[in-house]
Amino acid sequence: MSVTSRSKHRGPDTPDTELAAEAGNLPVTERIMDFRPRDRALSFVNMSLAAERADPFRVLIVDDDAAHRNLVSEILSAPLFSVSTAMSGRVALELLSQKEFDVVLVDKVMPEMSGDELCQAIRERYNRHILPVIVVTGSHGYADLSISLAGGANDFIRKPYDPNELIARVRSAATTKRLTDQMESAETLLFGLARMVEAKDECTGDHCSRLAHYAEVFGAALGLGERDLAALKSGAILHDIGKLAIPDRILLKPGALSEQEWVLMKQPTVIGAMLCGELKSLRSAVPIIRHHHERWDGSGYPDGLAGSEIPLLAQIFQLLDVFDALTTARPYKEAWSVERARDIIEEEMNKGYYNPALTREFLALLRDGADSMMRFGGHSSVVDGGRRIYEALLANGCVPHG
């Protein structure tokens, strides 16, 4: 099939006979799916298409059959798609190390490295868990398809396929990938801003990363599931992000705060929760951000919650935050020992600040597993793209050294 462009623009009122005559000269994608705005009611679709044409979806086709690579390349043609091809899994992995793609379309049966093996390598070797991989196969056996899906494939399409179906499936997968990328970019930006807030205070050091480490240790001791552990670790990085709205003259004030200044210092929990609540991926951390200064007896802020009204993860995080404040040096105090921190936390529990049952679990960990708590080497397993952003800014002199 040859790919040629239209010789002239046709408007929405062009007669159907002329459109049919012209169809033989249209690119494959436009013969299959006529994107011209003949239906004014679908103008929003055309606007979306215009955005896609400005930044076409990047597709990698992996197939040892040259004829099939060429056919698929022609079907997934410009302007909607930008296609790269690879004749083997090895070549595909080299391309993946050099370029970003929105979709990988891979033949299931290939010599040297099968499509399933390539998919597994993409997931494990390159850690590309979000990149959509569609397996193309001539098999109709469910066992074969189950193997592909278990290996990390997102979807499959059987030969022979309709070009319409191929375009729709690839476009859908690529659109989802783009939306996910946008979400990750926003999330990473928030993590980066949180790191910059932390860097303002020269006394707290690696406060966020220590808290993420403590969350892993205490969360595991409590038997929390993966979702709760992830929320705790995200909360550890983001809990103070609302301090962006607090003037440095108040945030870094060495002396006592006035009553009005204290009112302002209680706002970051609310502001941070609003910032992070806009992202679905961070919503599980929002209760931690908003409520980690509440108290069991209802004397905390911002909402004066008491007892079990305080979300459990916020209760857990509060103990970690207090412990870190006690065991690190501040302008008004030296770094206290784990033993002294334990005594103070127990005293405050008896005053009604913390959940007694939960606090006893934490005190037991500090008594019997303090080594694991304090075995922090400066890094945590928490995924924090914001650290990379902050370190890059720091290296280029864009933010002051702490």
- How does residue 372 score in pLDDT terms, banded at 50, 70 and 90? confident
Among the residue ranges 50-54, 173-177, 345-349, the one predicted with the least confidence is: 50-54
pLDDT at 381 over 60: no
Would you state the pLDDT for residue 393? 46
Residues of CATH 1.10.3210.10 domain(s) within the chain?
A: 184-395
Residue range 328-341: average pLDDT?
85
Average of pLDDT values for 154-173?
88
CATH 3.40.50.2300 location in the chain: 16-180
Report whether pLDDT(394) > 60. no
Question: Which has more confidence, 254 or 156?
Answer: 156
- pLDDT of 164 higher than 80: yes
pLDDT at 199: 67
Tell me, what's the pLDDT at 10? 41
The pLDDT assigned to 38 comes to 37
**Cα torsion angle, 150, 151, 152, 154, sign:** negative
Q: What is the pLDDT of residue 217?
A: 93
Q: Encode pLDDT of 12-39 as tens digits.
A: 444 444 444 444 454 443 433 333 333 3
Select the more confidently predicted residue: 315 or 8.
315
Identify the pLDDT of residue 218: 95
**Amino acid (one-letter) located at 126:** Y
pTM of the shown model: 0.55
pLDDT at 402 over 60: no
CATH class of 16-180: alpha beta
User: What does the pLDDT read at residue 3?
Assistant: 35
pLDDT in tens, 198-223: 666 555 557 888 898 999 999 999 99
CATH number, domain 184-395? 1.10.3210.10
User: What pLDDT sits at residue 302?
Assistant: 95
Q: What is the pLDDT of residue 27?
A: 46
Q: What 3 state SS string does the chain have?
A: CCCCCCCCCCCCCCCHHHHHHHHHHCCHHHHHCCCCCCCHHHHHHHHHHHHHHHCCEEEEEECCCHHHHHHHHHHCCCCCEEEEEECCHHHHHHHHHHCCCCEEEEECCCCCCCHHHHHHHHHHCCCCCCCCEEEEECCCCHHHHHHHHHCCCCEEEECCCCHHHHHHHHHHHHHHHHHHHHHHHHHHHHHHHHHHHHHHCCCCCCHHHHHHHHHHHHHHHHCCCHHHHHHHHHHHHHCCHHHHHCCHHHHCCCCCCCHHHHHHHCCHHHHHHHHHHCCHHHHHHHHHHHHCCCCCCCCCCCCCCCHHHCCHHHHHHHHHHHHHHHHCCECCECCCCHHHHHHHHHHHHHCCCCCHHHHHHHHHHHHHCHHHHHCCCCCCCCCCHHHHHHHHHHHCCCCCCC
Model confidence pLDDT, tens digit, residues 234-247:
898 889 888 887 87
Q: What pLDDT, on a 0 to 100 scale, did the predictor assign at position 395? A: 53
Over residues 161-165, mean pLDDT: 89
Q: Give me the chain's average pLDDT, please.
A: 78
